[in-house]
Amino acid sequence: MVKIMNELLQIKGVGETSVQKLHQNHIDSIGDLIHTYPYKYEINSIKSIHEMVMKEEITIEATLEKSSKVMFIRKHLTKIILTVYSDEIHFQVSIFNREFLKNSLLPGNRYVIKGRFQTPLQMVASEIIKKENYIEGIIPVYRLENISSKVYLKWVLEGLKSKASYFTERLPQEVLEKNHLVSIFDFYHIVHSPLSMDDVFLATNRIKYEELIDFFLRLEMMKQLQKRMFVKSKTYQIDKVKKYIDTLPFELTEDQKLVTNEIFRDLKSDRQMNRLLQGDVGSGKTVCAMIASYAVVTASEQVAIMAPTEILAYQHYLVFKDSLEQFGVRISFLSSNVKGKEKAKVLALLKSGEIDIIIGTHSLIQEDVEFKNLGFIVIDEQHRFGVNQRKTLRKKGYTPDVLFMSATPIPRTLAITIFKDMEISSIKALPHGRKPVETVISTFEEMDLVFKRMMDQLDFKHQAYIIVPLIEENDDSKFISIDEFKAIIEANIPDNYVVDYLYGKMKSTEKENVLNRFYQNQTQILVSTTVVEVGVNVPNATFMIILNATKFGLSQLHQLRGRVGRSNHQAYCYLLTDGFYDEESRLDILVKTTDGFKISEADLKFRGPGEIFGNEQTGIPRFKMANFINDKALIESAIEDAKTVMFSSDPKAKSMCKITLASLETYHLD
């Protein structure tokens, strides 16, 4: 390692301190240096204020007219307000958390300002720099800690001069030609210093394609391996199942009927079920899982249902018990809080086959949990479990059928692409009578108005959630905590409203008591972390405030919002932001739609599937540039090429397959 790091010292401008900074970014050789690509390119171009489009990013040149004024909104949140003019148009510019600029921004100086206009005369800026320091052109931006992109680029260009050995082509020639990809020699030079947008396209296209072909080659190999698995089909008693469905207090939606039939076909098949059931919040996935579980019980096999949190698992336990116990189904619950004699009794009954359905958390995968005849597994919120955890539960039966459930829905064609080894079922229709949750983006400066709207709902005897991102105050974080918010609540909420607090670090009995008080409407306001994201069902709750909403992904915000709007009453969700220039643009889709499929698609555009579903949980790599929404043409080509490469005699194709096969365990694919 020392020898390799000394190699970095050969680069002009790199010293001992720089080597340490590079090491902190996992860059320990010239090879690492060259292979760390920009994560984006900024096109620096100044426009006239007359080209401004409301709420779209623009970079303009302006003169500072008045000295800046600093406003303190709350802890970790300040705003500088500037008065500037450009092309004889005078307007205000706000920039957040840059109070240190106050004394350096001088009236009469020319500045380049990047931001968005919220009104024709009010701009929220992300960047303001002196005109003479602004560089126009295509600027590579690297995702590095404590190293500027400008300095890093200089090191890379020096490194490229000394490392011709890295220019060995790994892709077969036919793949390069078919996809119009640049050679590896050309690629390294243009990816780090493109001269035009054509260069940017060529460089990013090659990065995206390599990421995609590697991913789909792994999936194709896994698909071939899974084709070899056979299981015994289940002989469930259809008459009993139909009788159970007839007793449900509602008629199944068409989507639920379709999904149930798809699951039944899997149960009767000689192939192991590996099905993903995705559906929006409150769409009725649990009912489908109950019907399937009862069918398996009538086939004299056991069912295990695993959920990621005790709150969600216990919610399932209560629902299953209420619905199925009257049909003679024996149901038990297991979590880390089931201990001593009670736990020993559950484990003994499970092993002897006297429990038909066991519902629990990660406790189900403990070594001492044994089944007599486990035939069916349901894993709820499947992306919250690691692949090894899912495998451990599977191994407790002899090739049991597995149903994964997710309330983070994605378009069917995309789901098939990502979860290629699974069958996909989707529920889109919601129960009759539900009204879309009215969603509003607001700022901390408007907190008084938001509190008033909340209290209007409380006066109708309804309840409210307030979601806070942190438990404890943290000087290193700009996000608000429960500790900090308590003071705000006490100063603004009258004593006649009962407020309670909930977070993950509380003991289970404390959580249970807090939730029970909220279920029974003894508490009007529940201030909570994201622990309520799944498993909490209080139809009387009609109002939600989510603080620092931009901290969360769109899909997570949609999940949180799903805690309200669970009755026929109109529900409201206020997304509070700091007011930064780019915050509303990302959150805006939550205002426009409550369709989880559309929201998830937007989330994928911003973040990618690895961050939504979890890299370790799904085997999805954290792509540097490829995007499952924006790069559909490349995806289709990579899927087709993966099949070709697998059976190609080309030496480069064989080498790719060999490397991929060796990496399957590394990427934890099921």
DSSP string, 216-265: HHHHHHHHHHHTT---PPP---HHHHHHHHHTSSSPPPHHHHHHHHHHHH
Counting other chains too, the contacts that 480-486 makes at CB distance below 8 Å and 24 or more residues apart are 480/74, 480/547, 480/548, 482/527, 482/529, 484/75, 485/527, 485/547, 486/527
List, as own/partner pairs, every contact residues 414-419 make where C-beta atoms lie below 8 angstroms and the sequence separation is at least 24, other chains included. 414/601, 414/604, 414/628, 414/629, 415/276, 415/278, 417/628, 417/635, 417/639, 418/609, 418/613, 418/618, 418/620, 418/628, 419/276, 419/618
**pLDDT tier, 342 (very low <50, low <70, confident <90, very high otherwise):** very high
Q: How much of the chain exceeds pLDDT 90, in percent? A: 43
Average pLDDT, the chain: 86
The DSSP code sequence of 303-359 is: EEEE-SSHHHHHHHHHHHHHHHGGGT--EEEE-TT--HHHHHHHHHHHHHT--SEEE
CATH superfamily for 258-269+283-406 is P-loop containing nucleotide triphosphate hydrolases (3.40.50.300)
Inter-axis angle of helices 596-607 and 583-592, nearest 10: 160
Evaluate if residue 367 carries a pLDDT over 70. Answer: yes
Residue 666, pLDDT > 60, answer no
Beta strands per DSSP E along 515-630: 525-528, 541-546, 572-577
More confident residue, 91 or 391: 91
The 10s digit of each residue's pLDDT in 183-229 is 888 898 899 989 888 998 999 999 899 989 988 888 888 777 666 66
Predicted local confidence at residue 617, as pLDDT: 44
For position 280, what pLDDT does the model report? Answer: 81
- Return the CATH class of domain 46-133: mainly beta
Looking at residue 615, what is its pLDDT?
43
| pLDDT recorded at residue 661 | 74
**Helix, strand, or coil (residue 154):** helix
Angle between helices 184-192 and 197-226 (to 10 degrees): 120
Domain assignments of the chain as residue spans, ordered by start: 46-133, 258-269+283-406, 438-593
- What's the pLDDT score for residue 646? 86
Cβ neighbours of 95 (radius 10 Å)? 24
pLDDT confidence bin for 611, thresholds 50/70/90: low
Instruction: Please state the pTM of the whole predicted model.
Output: 0.71
DSSP β-ladder status, 525-528 and 463-467? parallel
> pLDDT value at position 670?
41
pLDDT at 1: 47
Residue 44 CA, chain-centre distance (Å), reads 30
Residue 387 has pLDDT above 70, yes or no: no
Kindly report, residue by residue over 560-598, the tens digit of the pLDDT: 999 998 888 999 999 998 876 555 678 999 999 988 888
Average pLDDT over residues 394-420: 77
pLDDT band at residue 669 using 50, 70 and 90 as cut-offs? very low
- Alpha carbon distances (Å) from 85 to 18, 82, 560: 41, 10, 42
* Whole-number percent of the chain with pLDDT over 70: 89
- Judge if 46-133 and 438-593 fold alike in CATH terms: no
Based on the number of CB atoms within 10 Å of its own CB, is 571 exposed (0-12), middle (13-18) or buried (19 or more)? buried
Per-residue pLDDT tens over the stretch 66-114:
877 888 887 778 889 999 999 999 999 999 888 888 888 999 999 999 9
Q: Does 305 or 610 have the greater pLDDT score?
A: 305
**Closest to 252 measured CA to CA, from 281, 279, 283:** 283
Q: What is the pLDDT of residues 486-511, one digit of tens each?
A: 888 988 899 899 999 998 888 888 98
- pLDDT, residue 663, reads 65
Q: pLDDT band for 384, please (50, 70, 90 cuts).
A: low
Tokens for 507? 């003991």
pLDDT one-digit tens code per residue, 142-167:
989 899 998 999 999 888 887 655 67
**438-593 CATH, one of 3.40.50.2300, 3.40.50.10310, 3.10.20.90, 3.40.50.300:** 3.40.50.300
Residue, of 287 and 418, whose pLDDT is higher: 287
| pLDDT for the residue numbered 583 | 57
The whole-number average pLDDT for the span 442-458 is 93
- Long-range contacts of residues 28-34, Cβ cutoff 8 Å, at least 24 apart: 28/1, 28/4, 29/4, 29/5, 30/159, 30/162, 30/163, 31/163, 31/166, 33/8, 33/155, 33/156, 33/159, 34/156, 34/159, 34/160, 34/163, 34/166, 34/188, 34/192
Q: Whole-angstrom Cα distance, residue 442 to residue 584? A: 9
